[in-house]
Amino acid sequence: MTTINELITHLENLAPRSMQESYDNSGLLIGNKNTTISGVLVCLDCVESVVDEAIAKGCNLIVAHHPLIFKGLKRITGSGYVERTVEKCIKNDIAVYAIHTNFDNYHQGVNAEIGRRLGLTNVKVLSPKSEALYKLVVFCPENEESLLNDALFGAGAGHIGNYSHCNFSSEGMGSFQPEDGANPMVGEIGSRTILSEKRMEYVVSEHRLSASLVAMRSALSYEEVAHDIIKLSNVNQQEGSGMLGELAESMRAIDFLKHVKQVFGCGAIRFTDLEDKQVKKIAFCGGSGSFLLNHAIAAGADVFVTADFKYHEFFDADGQLIIADIGHYESEQFTSNLLVDILTKKFTTFAVRLTELNTNPINYL
């Protein structure tokens, strides 16, 4: 028996909702988080036909990349596909959860999957959010070290670059004297206790700090957990928009675009002048990535693979790189596969299904 809330907790340990962009509306959009999951249907776009598919497959939760309710909804009268889809979900007890720009900004999310599909190496974030990092120092009983580690690593503390489970521990003597009103696990009111403790240190990103503090308190038997939260001058470069990676060997631009077209099954790729260039450094961003063009140029990318470029924006390539607009749906389609993988690895009490529908609203002739 798994609740929607348990699924959300797992996904948001990886990609906290606080990592979404300010305009976004990720999270549980329809349904009650305490509902037991009968099955999950994963898609990019939660449209009416996907809800029909969920009903047919016995799935009471749809996990979508794009939020069905985005700008707010003032009435549900069946006018327009959003209202009709919401109504259909509610009538059929189908919950809808969206994991959008927080999954774009997650370093193992939407863009990491694109990099893998393109066979790129040396992949890093193109425009890091440069969020603040904290050092969390916790003083814990000697025999509770592994409990604390499990709790904090589970809450996402201890990530440095591509390494997880990072911490440092040292031994020392701690002392405390419980006063009136205290309810100590060890020691007595009014007398000082001295005992050996571990000093445990973890790097924690801003997004994971509050969850880490909750995990810390629940892991230890101490009534009051002595801890320090220290803001660091180093910043987190791991999360942010777009990515940059390299091909194993440089290739002709036209051959690279043919490779992209084949991998993503693009109906068409719109691109700027190729000038018979060789390409090796590839910037990429799933979905609407034109806002990252200057970052791609500054990073020395030969090609920028993304979607939703407007006519005038193509001029901004200005001979400095090749813009390749491969289509919004095409660029993000593998996001669904990635979500299915993540959920299947974690949960066994319900089936996780990938939609069989192509929800791309755009056709090519």
What's the rounded Cα separation, in Å, for the pair 245 and 326?
17
Place of tokens 């009538």: 91
* Cβ partners under 8 Å of residue 167, min gap 6: 149, 152, 157, 158, 200, 201, 202
Residue 277, Cβ neighbours under 10 Å: how many?
A: 15
Contact by Cβ (8 Å): 158, 123:
no
The Cα-based distances of 246 to 118, 243, 320, 349 in angstroms read 10, 10, 17, 40
By CB under 5 A, tell whether 287 contacts Zn ion.
yes
> In angstroms, what is the minimal distance from the CB of 345 to Zn ion?
24
By CB under 5 A, tell whether 289 contacts Zn ion.
no
Q: Which of residues 323-352 bind Zn ion (CB under 5 A)?
A: 332
> In angstroms, what is the minimal distance from the CB of 284 to Zn ion?
13
197: left (phi over 0), alpha (psi -120 to 50) or beta: beta
Task: Give the DSSP letter string of 150-161.
Answer: HHHHHTT---BT
Candidates 12-20, 257-265, 267-275, 283-291; binding stretch for Zn ion (CB under 5 A): 283-291
Describe the strand order of the beta sheet including 168-176 as a list of residue ranges: 168-176, 193-205, 131-141, 227-236
Nearer to Zn ion, 4 or 99 (CB): 99
Which regions of 13-94 does DSSP assign to beta strands (E)?
A: 27-30, 39-45, 61-66
> In angstroms, what is the minimal distance from the CB of 44 to Zn ion?
7
Candidates 134-142, 145-153, 202-210, 280-288; binding stretch for Zn ion (CB under 5 A): 280-288
Nearer to Zn ion, 288 or 320 (CB): 288
Total residues interacting with Zn ion, rule: CB under 5 A: 2
Nearer to Zn ion, 21 or 223 (CB): 21
> In angstroms, what is the minimal distance from the CB of 46 to Zn ion?
13
> In angstroms, what is the minimal distance from the CB of 331 to Zn ion?
8
> In angstroms, what is the minimal distance from the CB of 22 to Zn ion?
16
Nearer to Zn ion, 115 or 287 (CB): 287
Is residue 51 helix, strand or coil?
Answer: helix
Nearer to Zn ion, 162 or 337 (CB): 337
Nearer to Zn ion, 131 or 332 (CB): 332
Candidates 86-94, 127-135, 191-199, 284-292; binding stretch for Zn ion (CB under 5 A): 284-292
By CB under 5 A, tell whether 67 contacts Zn ion.
no
Q: Phi and psi of 10, rounded to 5°? A: -65, -50
Nearer to Zn ion, 209 or 293 (CB): 293
What's the rounded Cα separation, in Å, for the pair 62 and 65?
10
> In angstroms, what is the minimal distance from the CB of 288 to Zn ion?
7
Using CB under 5 A, list all residues that contact Zn ion: 287, 332
